[in-house]
């Protein structure tokens, strides 16, 4: 009511203040007399609330304009902007569990026993990391294994590539100083000399891509729960297996608590307020307290449901003939790739044929 009286007494100032309301935007064509601003303003606000429209009210000389805008964003916003940051964080958080969602498919790769896939992947990793530091060409045939898993498992290539790129800075930091430490010239590419540091750096990147992509594909075709059960059946201590299961399961619970704290802080922050280290330290402290409280509740809930440390499954898996053939076949392929430099042999053969 005070605003309407002020608008009637000082119509130009009232209209300018009203134009700052988040439901009001740029002026267009509908013109109304200035003396009726105090009447049209509350009507426009009420209609904006009911019909998801924004309105414009701005004074021009002897008249004011009130215009509906049919495009009002439906998402939460802070300071008049759509809350895209929180939506992006939510998407990134739920994207973590997509590997387990991909593991629920029913392809030929998914139906294999987890132990067979785990042993095959371990043989693959051992073969890849056993090459000398200057080896590059011999590593290229090993990309056949990830390609076969992606094709037969019907997995999204872009998703796996993005995951590998996200963690790639670790490999870059490991080998980025090799070109400066190892400057001995090993090969010449035409007239361009290439030192051993650049070759070892490229070898590190290739090993990284092979090993990390295989680890992601193993989870995407088996699930983390299936991997832990495979480790348990292969002789890993039960205490360690259960700890791995709980770590993976409740990291999502911890992430949910952190997201709620971040969302509450973001909704109560204006501009750059609430972004300092003091607020961050307070948020971390509250997250620790919530984590301890949630851990106690989870422990009591598990005890009340009779948990005794044994992880039980409805469908006990067993090794079959396809699992044995899958493991033995790929181990033989890995042994051949490790023993012979296939790209070099192929290049020599093509050179002899063309000459």
Low-confidence ranges of the chain (pLDDT < 70): 1-96, 270-275, 313-316
pLDDT at site 316? 65
pLDDT at 153: 92
Using DSSP bridges, classify how beta strands 54-60 and 31-33 pair: parallel, antiparallel or unpaired: unpaired
Q: Does the predicted TM-score (pTM) go above 0.75?
A: no
Please give the share of the chain, as a percent, with pLDDT higher than 70. Answer: 70
Residue of 34, 31, 33, 54 whose CA lies nearest to 44: 54
Phi, psi dihedral angles at 232 (to 5 degrees) = -65, -40
| Gap between the Cα atoms of 207 and 347, Å rounded | 22
The span from the CA of 142 to the CA of 124, in Å, is: 8
- Dihedral of the CA atoms 250, 255, 258, 259 (nearest 10)? -140
Q: Is residue 96 within 8 Å of residue 148, measured between CB atoms?
A: no
Domain residue spans in the chain? 2-69, 97-236+318-340, 238-309
Q: How many other C-beta atoms lie within 10 A of the C-beta of residue 163?
A: 19
Helix (H, G, I), strand (E, B) or coil at 82: strand
């Amino acid at each position: 009511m005070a605003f309407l009286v002020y608008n009637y007494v000082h119509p130009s100032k009232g209209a300018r203040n009203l134009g700052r309301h988040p439901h009001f935007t740029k002026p267009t064509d509908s013109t109304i007399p200035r003396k009726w601003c105090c009447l049209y303003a509350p009507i426009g606000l009420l209609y904006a609330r009911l019909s998801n429209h924004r309105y414009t009210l701005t004074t021009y000389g002897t008249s004011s304009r009130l215009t509906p805008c049919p495009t009002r964003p439906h998402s939460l916003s802070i300071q008049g902007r759509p809350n895209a940051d929180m939506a992006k964080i939510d998407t990134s958080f739920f994207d973590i569990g997509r590997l387990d969602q991909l593991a629920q498919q029913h392809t030929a790769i998914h139906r294999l026993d987890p132990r067979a896939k785990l042993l095959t992947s371990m043989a693959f990793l051992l073969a890849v990391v056993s090459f000398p530091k200057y080896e590059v060409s011999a590593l290229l045939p090993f990309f056949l294994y990830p390609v076969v898993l992606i094709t037969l498992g019907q997995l999204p290539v872009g998703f796996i590539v993005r995951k590998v790129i996200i963690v790639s800075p670790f490999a870059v930091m490991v080998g980025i100083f090799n070109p400066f430490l190892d400057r001995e010239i090993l090969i010449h590419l035409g007239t361009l000399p290439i030192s051993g540091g650049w070759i070892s750096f490229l070898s590190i990147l290739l090993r990284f891509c092979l090993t990390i992509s295989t680890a992601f594909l193993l989870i995407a075709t088996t699930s983390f729960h299936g991997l832990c059960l495979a480790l348990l059946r292969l002789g890993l201590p039960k205490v360690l297996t259960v700890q791995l299961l709980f770590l993976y399961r409740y990291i999502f619970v911890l992430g949910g608590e952190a997201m709620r704290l971040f969302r509450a802080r973001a909704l109560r922050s204006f501009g750059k307020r609430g972004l300092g280290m003091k607020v961050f330290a307070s948020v971390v402290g509250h997250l620790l307290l919530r984590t301890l409280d949630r851990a106690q509740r989870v422990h009591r809930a598990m005890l009340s449901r009779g948990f005794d440390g044994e992880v039980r499954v409805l469908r006990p898996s067993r090794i079959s003939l396809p699992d044995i053939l899958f493991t033995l076949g790929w181990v033989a392929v890995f042994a051949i790739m490790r023993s012979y430099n296939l790209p070099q042999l192929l290049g020599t053969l093509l050179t002899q044929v063309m000459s």
